A and B are shown apart, each in its own frame.
Chain A
Amino acid sequence: MSAKSESHAAPAEPTLPQAATIRAAALVAILAFLMVAPFLFYPIFLMKLLCFALFASAFNLLLGYTGFLSFGHAAFFGGAAYVSAHAVKEWGVTPEVGILLGVAFAAALGLVMGLIAIRRTGIYFAMITLALSQMFFFFCLQAPFTHGEDGLQGVPRGHLFGVIDLSSQTNMYFFVLAVFLLGVGIVWRFVNSPFGMILKSIRENEARAVSLGYSVAGYKLGAFVMSAALAGLAGGTKALVFQFATLTDVAWQMSGEVILMTLLGGIGTLIGPVVGAGLVVTLQNYLATSDFPVTIITGVVFMVCVLLFRRGLIGEFYASRLGRRLGFRPER
């Protein structure tokens, strides 16, 4: 691709830095920003942002690379939050063990929901995942260990590996940052693995993937479980950041929120969901003090996104004339 475009490049065009360079520079800039950010901004806000960015990236792993729109990702996010919070508070395990238990739970739940949901595709898949997560919501509403409407409160952050005290906001921030980088790294690795390539081929032409001998259902299920597990990683971490887990995390509105973040940033781009999560969390933070309902804004942004820029902010940039000249390629 790059060799081809070079041979066709018109000599009159001014030389612009290429996509790879920009990507690397942006990555370094973002990393540098994240290292100094806790000294400039409110750490809880930053940690919330990182958790949701990871959640959106996990969601995008499924939607962006398999084309499956899950309307039930709150179940994995909130379910893991409950399990992590319960393990840390009631069983007294260390934070990393608590989070891993949350991830394991989310993966198991993803396996069960996935086995049922992947029997259908498209809008049916969306409706089924929504219904299944609503079922999980009712379970959480009635199960004793979630404490119903009150939620699990006063969860101690504890000591990471039994050594590092996470009640310090700075320590906690860098722990969350490490989790975020690990999670996004896994997404990146997954998408660019042979497994990820096969997922894309299934998205583009399922019949052909079947005829090539791939077990399509197995790959779809694998992607669904992976996405659920990473959503659980985000949820478990979020429970420790805020030190509580409530029904809000498992409600369908949460599933809608993560869809919005991904759609706004750009479905099927790596950085898009992170940008989308940043915008949505900032907006919520800004509106939290006013009595104007956030759902109106959320709803309008949804409609505008769908009507006017379906590729999302990052996706539209990639597809724009400037983006193309810089050598970015839109995902689809």
Chain B
Amino acid sequence: MIFGIPMVALMGQLLVGLINGSFYALLSLGLAVIFGLLRVINFAHGAQYMVGAFAALLLLKMGGVGYWWAVILAPVIVGLLSAVVERTMLRRLYDLDPLYGLLFTFGLALTVEGIFRYYFGASGQPYSPPKELAGAVNLGFMFLPIYRGWVVIASLVVCLAVWFLIEKTKLGAYLRAATENPILVQSFGVNVPLLLTGTYALGAGLAAFAGVLAAPVYQVSPLMGSNLIIIVFAVVVVGGMGSIMGAIVTGYLLGIAEGLTKVFYPEASNIVIFVIMAVVLILRPAGLFGKEA
């Protein structure tokens, strides 16, 4: 018993919080990567997450392709589709007020969600975890479903890999340089337009990866991304979009904060992240890790 709350309940909600935090971290990381270079707030991020989950479901139903392939294929498919969108449409908006990028991707999200709702209905469809990850282990103080443990570990590994890619590799150095001064980087012979396309595809792929991870945890439904994206926006505002690590850390922290709220004051669990956002804005308007005012 801790603070009058049974240990099992506390640990259970902490785990739920960690799972949600994993998705917040992956999605806010993708948003931060895209925003860092493209100066576009990708409202379609929730839709890309949803399409990722549907890609896994459809690969299984139509092609008999299992979970392990879907984890790789779904992000690639969504990344390629998003690259096409970037090349043909989003690209034209870079020179304009960033609000137009937000509005365009909002329209894209509505369209994609509408299409999926038209063909698959609004109700959710189950997607079972692979048999290697089925079942649960007894940790002594609680039962841990193996798949949930895998979600936390997989998202952590991918987040750190992306962080490493951007902060420690040569390609990442190009990316960061192009964020600072695209014209200068272009004049050094780096193909900046290709870099932009690749970045958008990477961000969208991350969202799709989160979608595949989420498919066995939640139901696969056309609207699974639209409420999530609003929470992720709040996460991004709290973290500030200046830092990759900031986006990851804030994602996990807020997920855990939400889980703990479910234990102590369940009525507020839906809004706790928004409340934290408001408090952070009052105390530190640039966000916890933000640099720009």
Binding site for B on A (CB under 8 A): 69, 116-117, 119-120, 122-124, 126-128, 130-132, 134-135, 138-139, 141-142, 252, 256, 259, 263, 292-303, 305-307, 310
Contacts and interface: CB of A to CB of B under 8 A. Distances in A.
A302 B102 contact: no
Contacts of A259: 103, 106
Contacts of A295: 110-111, 113-114, 117
Contacts of A302: 103-104, 106-107, 110-111
B282 interface: yes
Given A123-B102, A126-B99, A310-B100, A303 B285 contact: no
Given A139-B271, A296-B110, A120 B285 contact: yes
A127 B237 contact: yes
Interface string B89-122: 1001100111110111011111111110110000
Given A130-B230, A298-B110, A299-B109, A306 B274 contact: no
A300 B275 contact: no
B18 interface: no
Is the contact region of chain B dominated by helix, strand, or loop, or is it mixed?
Answer: helix
Contacts of A69: 99, 102-103
Given A116-B282, A135-B275, 6 more contacts: A126-B99, A295-B113, A296-B115, A296-B118, A301-B107, A306-B93
B100 A123 contact: no
B132 interface: no
A262 to B, nearest CB: 11
B125 to A, nearest CB: 18
- Interface centre among A127, A128, A141, A305, by most chain B C-beta atoms within 10 angstroms, is A127
B245 interface: no
Contacts of A306: 93, 100, 103-104, 107
Interface string B215-256: 000000000001100110110110000000000000000000
Contacts of A130: 230, 233
A132 B278 contact: yes
B277 interface: yes
A296 B233 contact: no
A129 to B, nearest CB: 10
Nearest to A295: B114
Nearest to A122: B98
Contacts of A297: 114
Is the contact region of chain A dominated by helix, strand, or loop, or is it mixed?
Answer: helix
B89 A138 contact: no
B234 A131 contact: yes
A142 B107 CA distance: 29
- Interface centre among A141, A300, A303, by most chain B C-beta atoms within 10 angstroms, is A303
A296 B111 contact: yes
Interface of B: 41, 89, 92-93, 96-100, 102-104, 106-115, 117-118, 226-227, 230-231, 233-234, 236-237, 267, 270-271, 274-275, 277-278, 281-282, 285
Nearest to A297: B114
A299 B108 contact: yes
A300 to B, nearest CB: 6
Contact of B281 (A120, A134, A138, A296): A120
23 contacts: A116-B281, A116-B282, A120-B237, A122-B97, A124-B237, A126-B41, A126-B102, A128-B237, A131-B231, A131-B237, A132-B274, A134-B227, A134-B230, A135-B271, A256-B110, A292-B118, A293-B117, A293-B118, A295-B110, A298-B114, A299-B110, A302-B103, A310-B96
Nearest to A296: B114
Contacts of B115: 296
Contacts of B285: 119-120
Contacts of B275: 135
A301 B103 CA distance: 11
A118 to B, nearest CB: 10
A119 B271 contact: no
A138 B234 CA distance: 15
Contacts of B112: 299
A255 to B, nearest CB: 10
A256 B113 CA distance: 14
